[in-house]
Amino acid sequence: MANGFYDVVVGLQYGDEGKARIVDSLADQYDIVARFNGGANAGHTVQSKGVKLALAQIPCGVLHGDKILYIGSGCLLSLKKLKDELDALSAIGIDLEGRFLISPFCSVVQPHQIALDLLDAAHLGTTGNGMGPAYADRARRAYQGCLLNIRFGELLSKQDKMLAQMRANWHQHANSLETLEFDLPSYIEQTAETLEALNKYVAPHGLYLQEQLQKGARVVFEGAQSVMLDVARGTVPYVTASHTFPSYACCGGDVSPKFCRKIIGVAKAIMSRVGHGPFPSELGGRRSEEYCMLDAGKFNTREKESLQYNPRELLQREGDFELGIALRMLCGEYGTKTGRPRRIGMLDLVQLRYAVNACSVDQLFLNRCDLLPLFSKSQYEAVPVVTAYSSAQNSIGTGEAELFSYTDATNSVELFESFDINELSKHSLPEGLQALVNRIEVFCGCSARGLGIGPDREEIHWRSSVC
Ligand code: IMP
């Protein structure tokens, strides 16, 4: 039998580009939807025919009943949250038994790792799911005779021993954790309870996915977080704790790179970033970052903003900071799982070109095109797009980290004619949007295969010339 292949869907900006809805809409062309990095920190939304699902750990092929879902060893497992996700799916009639498999080599997030992360959350703006400390412990392996990396398979087969190890690891770190209120006994108890329910999902061995590829399976990897949040090449230290580049899919997804067929990149026409870190096209710059990240993102919430501002009125005011708030409210840009306000920015083609090039993206999806006409009511009266950075930053290729650092300088903005939202459909594109897409394709050297024109699975404008 002929070998199968895998494609990788990767976020090209700062996360939340809508990768899940693209994977969901492409899923018919594959047999298996798999994950290779991250864990409960990811928030993925899929929406079709009135069903809206907010997922974190489970791959987003759930709405396709005939697809296998796989979590690779590069992912971290937050067991209680995973069980809650499965229960929520089961409550709406989606049962994953027999089609959901987890690598036995996934590391399990432990209580001391969550606690350590929470203590650091305000400083880096993490999601507080223990990602950084858990990946660090995985690399550290053991400390003073204590096993720091507890893996799913081992936890299932040596439950008492591994739970005792979890407790011991907490006490090992107790000095650093004493300021935090954390209910260790109930966490351990809940973990033990989840194991019975999750036992049936462990993959038979670490070569499961590789074997499926050898038998001809078509696999799509759904990247979590995005290129600019890569632990090594992103905007360090304001990044996630795993590798987000598509090249990591083979390693964290437990397959050989030999099977890779193509890379599918996803970007968003109005950008966002959640957490701290540089964001060159941010509307309102540093002021916006400080505002959004006040009290670790818990202060200026969706509820607070909706009580305080009228977004339509704010849209018409002078000032990028105000425009950023208005767009966040009108586009609903708040964290799927954390509820934090997302910082908003113009589409940044300098950054997009870098990401397309660094990942060798074969084809591009641009989500949220339907929201671009909001700019026509703003001071720009057209769609603004960043096409060059201030001179000090303009040297692509000289040092990636420096390129996307903080700047107070003003970037060059190109304006594109806005368009009437009613002219946007699955079959035709208004002139203004067509001109913007042409510019993106030439600037980034990559074809756009689809444009998101609404949140539903069906609301994608497919460009027939690209396949
Ligand atoms: P962590 O992944 O929880 O360690 O958080 C590190 C950084 O990555 C923070 O700035 C988070 O806001 C960001 N981050 C983590 N997961 C996501 C995601 O799914 N979307 C967007 N940003 C994320």
Catalytic annotation present for 24:
no
Q: Is 275 in the pocket of ligand 1 (CB under 6 A)?
A: yes
In ligand 1, the atom with minimum distance to the C-alpha of 41 is 16
Ligand 1 centroid to residue 276 C-alpha, Å: 9
Q: How far is the CA of 155 from the centre of ligand 1 (A)?
A: 27
Q: Whose CA is nearest to atom 22 of ligand 1?
A: 15
> 132 in ligand 1 pocket by Cβ < 6 Å?
yes
234 lines ligand 1 (CB under 6 A): no
Give the pLDDT score at 125.
Answer: 87
> What pLDDT, on a 0 to 100 scale, did the predictor assign at position 392?
55
Cα–ligand 1 centroid distance for 283 (angstroms): 20
Mutation pick for ligand 1 pocket among 225, 227, 336 (CB with most ligand atoms within 8 Å)? 225
Ligand 1 contact via 43 beta carbon (within 6 Å):
yes
Catalytic residue (choose from 7, 24, 31, 44): 44
Does the annotation mark 16 as catalytic?
A: yes
Separation of CA 125 and ligand 1 centre (Å): 8
What is the pLDDT, as a whole number, of residue 401?
47
Task: Please name which of 359, 319, 349, 323 lies closest in space to residue 412, comparing C-alpha atoms.
Answer: 349
Residue owning the nearest CA to atom 10 of ligand 1: 275
Residue 120 confidence (pLDDT): 76
16 lines ligand 1 (CB under 6 A): yes
Give the number of other Cβ atoms within 10 Å of residue 54's Cβ.
14
pLDDT, position 396: 47
Ligand 1 midpoint to CA 130 (Å): 11
Instruction: Return per-residue pLDDT of the chain as tens, 467 residues.
Output: 688 999 999 999 999 999 999 999 999 999 999 999 999 998 888 777 777 888 899 998 998 999 999 999 999 999 999 999 999 999 999 999 999 999 999 999 999 999 999 887 768 889 999 999 999 999 999 988 889 999 999 999 999 999 999 999 999 888 888 777 788 899 999 999 999 999 999 999 999 999 999 999 999 999 999 999 999 999 989 999 999 999 999 999 999 999 999 999 999 999 999 999 999 999 999 999 999 999 889 999 999 999 999 999 999 998 999 999 999 999 999 987 778 999 999 999 999 999 999 999 999 999 999 999 999 999 999 999 999 887 555 444 444 545 677 766 678 899 999 998 888 777 788 999 999 999 999 999 999 999 999 988 889 999 876 65
Span from the CA of 432 to the centroid of ligand 1 (angstroms) = 33
- Partners of 386 in beta bridges: 348, 413
Q: Is 121 in the pocket of ligand 1 (CB under 6 A)?
A: no
Cβ–ligand 1 distance for 253 under 6 Å, the answer: no
47 lines ligand 1 (CB under 6 A): no
Ligand 1 near 133 CB (within 6 A): no
Smallest Cα–Cα separation from 82: which of 185, 165, 200? 200
